[in-house]
Structure 1
Amino acid sequence: DPDYLKLAATENIRKVVETTLDGIKTHKLVYEKGDIYFKRTQHPWKEPDSAEDIVQAGLISHAYRHRIDMEYVAELVKLNQAEALK
Structure 2
Amino acid sequence: MAMKIIDIKFTKEHDSKKQQAQTEMMQKLSERLSQRIKDKFSDVRIKVRLSSSSGIDVSGFRDTEKKQVMEWLEDVWNDPFLLDD
TM-score (normalised: structure 1): 0.21
Structure with larger Rg: 1
Looking at both structures, which has the greater relative contact order when contacts are Cα pairs under 8 Å and sequence separation is at least 6?
Answer: 2
